[in-house]
Chains A and B, each alone.
Chain A
């Protein structure tokens, strides 16, 4: 059933188009938005890392500056120990991260050490000339030592600044790097992000969570830290790209790093990926929701649109169907103002034309019917005339014929005197011909009556037994003359029937007569019984048999069959003169068939050439009404 497919098609196409467009544009937007966001984020991260690196560097540089100043407040002038000590105390005040400061003279011997925690040491003359902090420190090139831990838990760094001028000594400061913690924890990286500093070996030196530093956490195993370290080149101040990596706790973060060049440290700036991409996710979610909404709306709209388009088409389809089924006065009402309206108008015009032609046809049919009726009437007239004629004619014919036969009978009965032998045989011939003619006239009349539908059956009670017995008695003499035995088989309890006794006898007589006529020798059997609620009567002979081709023909008028072996003219049996040799009018079986059929029965023949024939007919037990003429 193709119903509804156009609608579905339209809905699918419309909705698909709009949804597809929405989806495509939405996805493209999401993709580009992701790229843009990521690019922006990475740029920001890089900047943050750089800024953080700068701040930490400034922190260290400030301390460096202060240490330098403390070491050489005046160019050139030497300093007495006490003066230097006071200078260092000033340094303590100005630079809280400095825990210890010591003075090495031009040859690397320690002359003064001032500490916040430990006892001050004056003039120890300890030799640090081979110590890198002494010999690496050059004017303008401060020595920044590696990060080491005091008491296993405090990160420290040594800074050594050489004074200017010849033989200038070196001021060595021990810097407590916990103070960087303030700097690092103040670096804001989004809401949940943070900055941290790692030294050249990957060891954590500063982190907003100080306890991680105190644990001396080694982060060199983390992939992104390892990568940054390997890329670290103190000579170039190039920025590294921000990347996505896993932090210490395995969470995904967006991380950027920047080097703090003089120190060989790396500052990392981590932002949890979820937070970094949160606005993007929010916007994706929003877009997805909008797309879904759009798709939903587009489906609704397409349902509506499709309905609007399909409804007039359906109207046309339904209207056309109805017109096609014959309701030609139906009209399709479609007012869409477009081609569909034109189409429906064309349909309507077509229906109107059909209607016209139908009415035209109907008129013609009516005319023709009238003509036919008149013709039929005339035919009926003709037929009636014919029957009338036949009836008259037969009567006219029969009367003189009966006269001839009667008189001949009387003459033969010697009523008019003796009849010489020669005259007797001639008169007997006359009788035979006369009877034959009478029979023919009777048969023709019967047949025409039957065909005109004017033979009426006289329906009364009869006894089949009586009919069979009467016929066999009547035919006995004829059988005897041909040396044929007539055998009758009947059950003793045949019920009474209702029908036209005379006509039934006629049929049986005809059949038995034919049997005797055609049987050369042997016997003729007559059987009568009940079968399926009807009489079943059969007449069998041991005659020559009837060829299958002839079996149909014999029930037609004027058909007679000559037994094979006797060559005849081109049309055997039709020549009336020849049929006289066997007697019969050629009408008997035709009449018998009509009579049986008028009773509502059936008659047929079973025969094989050389094996004889059996004619059988059935008769309903009780025929109440004469069936209509077919």
Chain B
């Protein structure tokens, strides 16, 4: 009933103009309807019709009334559709703005962390290698050797944390490794099934097969492990469920022009029945070292590492969550349809 071409006009209007149109439609509707009701127009029409029934004007009057009535219905539909479209567009704008701000924030943080990581690696090298040198000349059972062993292991532990930070700061690097996402996912899920508590039901729905993405199998396993580990912590010690699904998806609206060249995309969703997160927590969830858990439960690097890995694969990760109602992490990745003759992916850096 409503021509789609009408709404094409509205796409060129600003938010203010759309609001004005909407209000003016409602006012017009009121101006048309109010006199009809107030002056008992149907009674007037009936009387006019009785007085002029030999002039056939009453038929024309009836048609005019029907036309006005239909126009009113038509205007109501347009007004309702405009309201719906306006609300949806405003919600989209807010989401996009939030997404852009988060991306800028994380890119800047990535650059800072990259620099910090570089400097700290230089300081860790003497702690590890020079300790080795000193240990060469010591009795392995001596107190000094044991103490230096602790120093060395602490330095190696610090290097591992930096490696996770490297993954976060590598967001914009070209990645040459590829894997079949569904195969890597199945492998990761098999591993996770062995380590999650029995009170948690893990279910999966894999609708995409032989999907090649610009991530290594190890990267996929790290991502799944990080997300499931967070889901298990969010659920706590109570019975719960974690769902993993893989299905084809559309190009993300926030994708850059370069990534929009990839016509085929896949979505990987991990949802849990855990405690959920507030809006404030969602904004910070991918920040390195941000955690709502106690210090012995983790370093707060899992999700930032996940973010870095997904960005390096040309993908996007979003989270939806409601406090008390669980969280859903959605990852969208471009699908590699073919490779060049050197076996490298066609993926190009952002």
User: Does A associate with B in a complex?
Assistant: no
Using a CB–CB cutoff of 8 Å, the interface residues on chain B facing chain A are none
